Homo-oligomer: A and B are copies of this chain.
Amino acid sequence: MRFSLPLLLTAMAGVLPFTASAAQSADIVLKNGLVLTMNGDKTVYSKGAVVIKDHEIIAVGDDSITNQYQAKKTMDVDGDIIMPGLINTHTHVSMTVFRSLADDVPDRLHRYIFPLESKLVSRDMVRIGANLGNVEMVKGGVTTYADMYYFEDEVARTVENIGMRAILGETVIKFPVADAKNADAGINYAMKFIKQYRNNPLITPAFAPHAPYSNTTETLQKVAKLSEQENVPVLIHLAETHHEAEVIAKRSNGLSPVQYMESIGALNNHVVAAHMILVNDKDIAIAKKEDIGIAHCMSANIKAAKGVSPALKMFDDGLRIGLGTDGPMSGNTLSIIDEFNQVAKLHKLVNHDRSAMPPIKVIEMATIGGARALHMEDKIGSLEVGKLADVIVIDTKAPNMVPIYNPYSALVYSANSANVKDSIINGRLIMQNRRVLTVDEDKIRQQAIDYTQVVRDTVIKSGEQVL
């Protein structure tokens, strides 16, 4: 077909200016997806798109919005689920190197884990374990996690390497540990780490007083004060065990751990409390008033027969509550997807009500709820314009995921961590079609496997049974 020159120019005028100047530039466009925004209205786009520029989400909506953008990379996800990255509000990532060791031993923490750690925790162990755990989390759709352990500056380097987001809490505990001879040394280590990572775009450094019973009142008060002064989070195990409750009741004339922490001024809106199993209505009211975050770790809690936290009540009461895996010697996996179906089902069981804890609440806890638990809901946890671009894509074609009448049900009752296909964190593509792009997965796995010989030698020497 021939055009006269004026006609051709007219035709071009209708197209060229639109793509050349009216279209805004973007870095990544995800399109043709079932978009679960997890915004305040829980908006779902059945054929939707998410547009990312630099580190942020700049548009979310029906696929038609993509016409307005000229993107460096366009990902047609062919009907798969696009959702906010999952948030793991409590773990000890480096403990992957101990996974499957001496499970189910009574009084395991004091009889087994602390002695094992006193022999083995080192910069090497922390780095090797964190590298492996980071890969597991990315492959399981986790984009942000909160960690409590030792040598957190080593963990920080692994997090930067893979390109995840993390709150890293340096442990403060009253007995000698690998990187500090007492609680004050732990505080000093943490302060140094906080100064080093204060303005890092991916890492939020934090204090991690181990628990109320394993620290003095003075230490807990000192950490609380410093957390306000430095404006950093405080990660702590709280209301987790009967042993803890007994020690604290003795220390405080009968207060519960939550009441005790409030009474000494150690609860504030920097605190993220893991577990919160042994809490009554008064404790829950205090947690709400003090605006603390809560990490609900169902899988680990029931594995240790510790009980089921009243997480559903805390969620319904409007507390800041998200999901956590706990460490890989406790959970034993690091993928938040592995928590979903246990969280949904256990709350039904203990409430004798099959309609309790519906899937949408579980997904809320895993995303925006986790963000609220970490006091980061202004930055992450939902797909909304202006939020940081932490986005995952879930395969809807794996046989366990077919069909999908209700995407929340499919995620909670059917999905496993291997159904996560792609992960974008802080606007950067970290995993595509299950291949992690930023680190060498094979090398990381081999380093972890090699390290197991160190663990075996130590455990066998100590006379403990590995198998």
Interface residues of A (CB under 8 A from B): 96-97, 99-106, 108, 132, 135-136, 139-140, 299, 302-305, 307-308, 331-335, 338, 341-342, 344-346, 348-349, 351-356, 358-359, 397-400, 402-407, 409-410, 413-414, 416-419, 441, 445, 448-449, 451-452, 455-456, 466-467
Q: Which residues of B contact A100 (CB under 8 A)?
A: 403-407, 409-410, 413-414
The CA-CA distance from A14 to B353 in the complex, in Å, is 72
A-B contacts besides A303-B413, A304-B348, 13 pairs, CB < 8 Å: A97-B403, A100-B406, A100-B414, A103-B359, A104-B354, A104-B359, A135-B399, A303-B345, A305-B352, A307-B349, A341-B342, A402-B445, A403-B451
The residue in chain B whose Cβ has the minimal distance to the Cβ of A465 is B406
Q: Which residues of B contact A308 (CB under 8 A)?
A: 349
Minimal beta-carbon separation of A417 from chain B (angstroms): 6
Q: List 10 A-B contacts (CB under 8 A).
A: A97-B403, A100-B410, A100-B414, A104-B358, A136-B400, A332-B413, A397-B445, A400-B417, A405-B467, A416-B416
Contact between A96 and B332 (Cβ–Cβ < 8 Å)?
Answer: no
Contact between A303 and B342 (Cβ–Cβ < 8 Å)?
Answer: no
Q: Which residues of B contact A398 (CB under 8 A)?
A: 418
- Number of this chain's copies in the assembly equals 2
Given contacts A413-B332, A416-B418, contact A406 B346 (CB under 8 A): no
Minimal beta-carbon separation of A423 from chain B (angstroms): 14
Q: CB within 8 A of A103: which of B97, B108, B404, B413?
A: B413
The residue in chain B whose Cβ has the minimal distance to the Cβ of A133 is B399
The CA-CA distance from A335 to B108 in the complex, in Å, is 31
The residue in chain B whose Cβ has the minimal distance to the Cβ of A359 is B103
Minimal beta-carbon separation of A416 from chain B (angstroms): 4
Q: Which residues of B contact A355 (CB under 8 A)?
A: 104-106
Given contacts A333-B414, A354-B106, A354-B108, contact A405 B445 (CB under 8 A): no
Contact between A348 and B449 (Cβ–Cβ < 8 Å)?
Answer: no
The CA-CA distance from A158 to B97 in the complex, in Å, is 43
The CA-CA distance from A108 to B35 in the complex, in Å, is 28
Contact between A402 and B103 (Cβ–Cβ < 8 Å)?
Answer: no
The residue in chain B whose Cβ has the minimal distance to the Cβ of A416 is B416
Tell which of A97, A108, A140, A349 has the most Cβ of chain B within 10 Å.
A349
Given contacts A104-B358, A354-B303, contact A406 B348 (CB under 8 A): no
Q: Which residues of B contact A413 (CB under 8 A)?
A: 100, 103, 303, 331-333
Minimal beta-carbon separation of A413 from chain B (angstroms): 4
Q: Which residues of B contact A419 (CB under 8 A)?
A: 418
Contact between B341 and A132 (Cβ–Cβ < 8 Å)?
Answer: no
The CA-CA distance from A124 to B299 in the complex, in Å, is 39
Contact between B353 and A305 (Cβ–Cβ < 8 Å)?
Answer: yes
Minimal beta-carbon separation of A421 from chain B (angstroms): 12
Contact between A406 and B345 (Cβ–Cβ < 8 Å)?
Answer: no
Q: Which residues of B contact A402 (CB under 8 A)?
A: 96, 99, 132, 445, 448-449
Q: Which residues of B contact A140 (CB under 8 A)?
A: 400
Minimal beta-carbon separation of A241 from chain B (angstroms): 11
Contact between A445 and B104 (Cβ–Cβ < 8 Å)?
Answer: no
The 3 closest A-B pairs by CB, nearest first: A418-B418, A136-B399, A332-B413
Q: Which residues of B contact A305 (CB under 8 A)?
A: 348-349, 351-354, 356
The CA-CA distance from A307 to B466 in the complex, in Å, is 34
Contact between A335 and B405 (Cβ–Cβ < 8 Å)?
Answer: no
The CA-CA distance from A406 to B96 in the complex, in Å, is 14
Q: CB within 8 A of A405: which of B136, B303, B452?
A: B452
Q: Which residues of B contact A451 (CB under 8 A)?
A: 403
The CA-CA distance from A407 to B359 in the complex, in Å, is 32
The CA-CA distance from A100 to B360 in the complex, in Å, is 13
The CA-CA distance from A349 to B309 in the complex, in Å, is 12
